[in-house]
């Protein structure tokens, strides 16, 4: 049979090459793995295994919780590991799919991208059935896991090269009803900042695949610098529980910051590219403001000093809008194209 242009011949419409040990019809808690074939020098008939926990109790919301999409971000993996172990299946309604380390090869080496194929997982969605190992894992998530859920909570942090005031975020969405559902989840997560974000680049992210299917997608950036703090792990753990409360998966009201006597979540936005200051050069980054500082449009916020020569004026970097510094380049070295600063603005309401 010859397929029409743009069509896939029937014999090519095969299921993903990735499989799992999960019985999707079973009730209770299963700790298993997703297995992607990986034939390499050190294992001819080997596989990359992704640990997965599925907790199911009757009908109810179906939600996918992921961490470790990037391998140098630790709040998601730690919080989801703890919750996957501790949540009693009898206490939930519906199905929680928890994948603490979505990209184990990257997590194992503490790197953003996979060491096996060099691919950044969150630029490889929806993935490819016959692609590299990371692309195959993305394909499985897109075509097997996402159809099973109504919402995805993807826990990120700044990793080794960014640092943030911890925030839960959603994108601007055209569909008002989808926006409302997503807003409810972001507010329930109750991070120090609840952010509506216009990103520098969204192509290839899991975000868009979920959003285009009309489902709820929320992500976080919880601090960074390639480590965790007790506070940021707690934000991740409590946030996931709060979302499960909000969606009716777990009994009880979200344990909000307000209830704990803390500052309520600050609603902010990065509405356009003026929220970002980008490096034009290589050198030593001198950040002149601290996370949480208010800055004025045109304010000098950083300098980049040449490594090669003395006596040169440093490159000067300015805020492109008035607002609050919510994110910054983390290490002391900068290169052209690096994001040096992220400036958010307060919103009256979501």
Angle between helices 75-86 and 230-246 (to 10 degrees): 50
Tokens of 240: 């996931």
Helix (H, G, I), strand (E, B) or coil at 77: helix
Contact (CB, 8 A) for 55 and 92: yes
Q: Is 98 exposed, middle or buried (0-12, 13-18, 19+ CB in 10 A)?
A: buried
Q: Which is nearer to Zn ion, 29 or 70 (CB)?
A: 70
Q: Which is nearer to Zn ion, 102 or 269 (CB)?
A: 102
Q: Where are the beta strands (DSSP E) in 176-241?
A: 193-197, 216-221
Minimum Å gap between C-beta 159 and Zn ion is: 6
Q: Which is nearer to Zn ion, 73 or 75 (CB)?
A: 73
Minimum Å gap between C-beta 155 and Zn ion is: 9
The answer to whether residue 29 forms part of the interface with Zn ion (CB under 5 A) is no
Q: Please name the helix (run of DSSP H) or strand (run of DSSP E) that holds residue 147, with its range, or none.
A: none
Minimum Å gap between C-beta 160 and Zn ion is: 11
Binders of Zn ion among residues 141 to 160 (CB under 5 A) are 156
Chain residue whose CB lies nearest Zn ion: 156
Closest CA to 144 of 77, 52, 28, 246: 52
**φ/ψ of residue 320, rounded to 5:** -95, 0
Query: For residue 265, how far is the Cα from the chain centroid?
Result: 19
Q: Which is nearer to Zn ion, 70 or 246 (CB)?
A: 70
x/- binding map, residues 188-207, to Zn ion, per CB under 5 A?
A: --------------------
Q: Which is nearer to Zn ion, 29 or 156 (CB)?
A: 156
Minimum Å gap between C-beta 326 and Zn ion is: 16
DSSP class of 209: H
Closest CA to 330 of 166, 169, 158, 165: 158
x/- binding map, residues 32-71, to Zn ion, per CB under 5 A?
A: --------------------------------------x-
How many residues bind Zn ion (CB under 5 A)? The answer is 3
Spatial distance between the Cα atoms of 346 and 40, rounded to a whole number of angstroms: 50
Q: Which is nearer to Zn ion, 199 or 286 (CB)?
A: 199
Q: Please name the helix (run of DSSP H) or strand (run of DSSP E) that holds residue 323, with its range, or none.
A: strand 323-329
Minimum Å gap between C-beta 80 and Zn ion is: 14
Q: Which is nearer to Zn ion, 73 or 135 (CB)?
A: 73
Tokens of 158: 């700044």
Spatial distance between the Cα atoms of 138 and 69, rounded to a whole number of angstroms: 10
Minimum Å gap between C-beta 70 and Zn ion is: 4
Q: Which is nearer to Zn ion, 70 or 183 (CB)?
A: 70
Binders of Zn ion among residues 69 to 88 (CB under 5 A) are 70, 73
Minimum Å gap between C-beta 315 and Zn ion is: 27
Binders of Zn ion among residues 233 to 252 (CB under 5 A) are none
Minimum Å gap between C-beta 51 and Zn ion is: 19
Return the bridge partners of 284, or none: 305, 333
Spatial distance between the Cα atoms of 77 and 59, rounded to a whole number of angstroms: 27
* Residues found near Zn ion in the complex (CB under 5 A): 70, 73, 156
């Amino acid at each position: 049979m010859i397929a029409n242009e743009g069509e896939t011949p029937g014999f090519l419409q095969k299921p993903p090459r990735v499989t799992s040990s999960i019985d999707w019809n079973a009730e209770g808690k299963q700790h298993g793995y997703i297995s992607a074939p990986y034939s390499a020098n050190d294992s001819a008939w080997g596989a990359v295994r992704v640990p997965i926990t599925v907790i199911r109790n009757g009908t109810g919301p179906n939600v996918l919780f992921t961490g470790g999409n990037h391998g140098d971000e630790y709040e998601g993996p730690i919080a989801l590991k703890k919750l996957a172990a501790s949540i009693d299946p009898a206490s939930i309604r519906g199905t929680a799919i928890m994948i603490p380390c979505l990209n184990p090869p990257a997590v194992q080496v503490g790197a953003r991208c996979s060491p096996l194929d060099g691919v950044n997982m969150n630029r490889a969605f929806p993935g490819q059935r016959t692609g590299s190992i990371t692309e195959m894992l993305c394909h499985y998530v897109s075509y097997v896991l996402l159809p099973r859920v109504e919402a995805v909570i993807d826990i990120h942090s700044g990793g080794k090269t960014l640092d943030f005031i911890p925030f839960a975020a959603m994108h601007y969405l055209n569909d008002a009803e989808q926006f409302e559902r997503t807003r409810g989840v972001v507010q329930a997560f109750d991070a120090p900042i609840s952010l509506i974000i216009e990103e520098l680049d969204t192509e290839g992210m899991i975000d868009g695949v979920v959003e285009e299917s009309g489902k709820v997608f929320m992500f976080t950036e919880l601090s960074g610098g390639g480590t965790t703090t007790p506070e940021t792990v707690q934000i991740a753990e409590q946030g996931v529980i709060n979302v499960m409360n909000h969606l009716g998966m777990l009994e009880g009201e979200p344990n909000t910051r307000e209830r704990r006597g803390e500052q309520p979540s600050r609603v902010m936005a990065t509405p356009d590219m003026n929220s970002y200051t980008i490096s034009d050069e290589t050198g030593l980054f001198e950040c002149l403001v601290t996370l949480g500082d208010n800055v004025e449009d045109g304010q000098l916020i950083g300098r980049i000093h040449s490594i090669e020569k003395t006596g040169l004026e440093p490159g000067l970097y300015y805020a492109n809008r008035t607002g609050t510094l919510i994110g910054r380049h983390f290490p002391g070295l900068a290169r052209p194209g690096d994001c040096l600063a992220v400036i958010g603005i307060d919103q009256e309401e979501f």
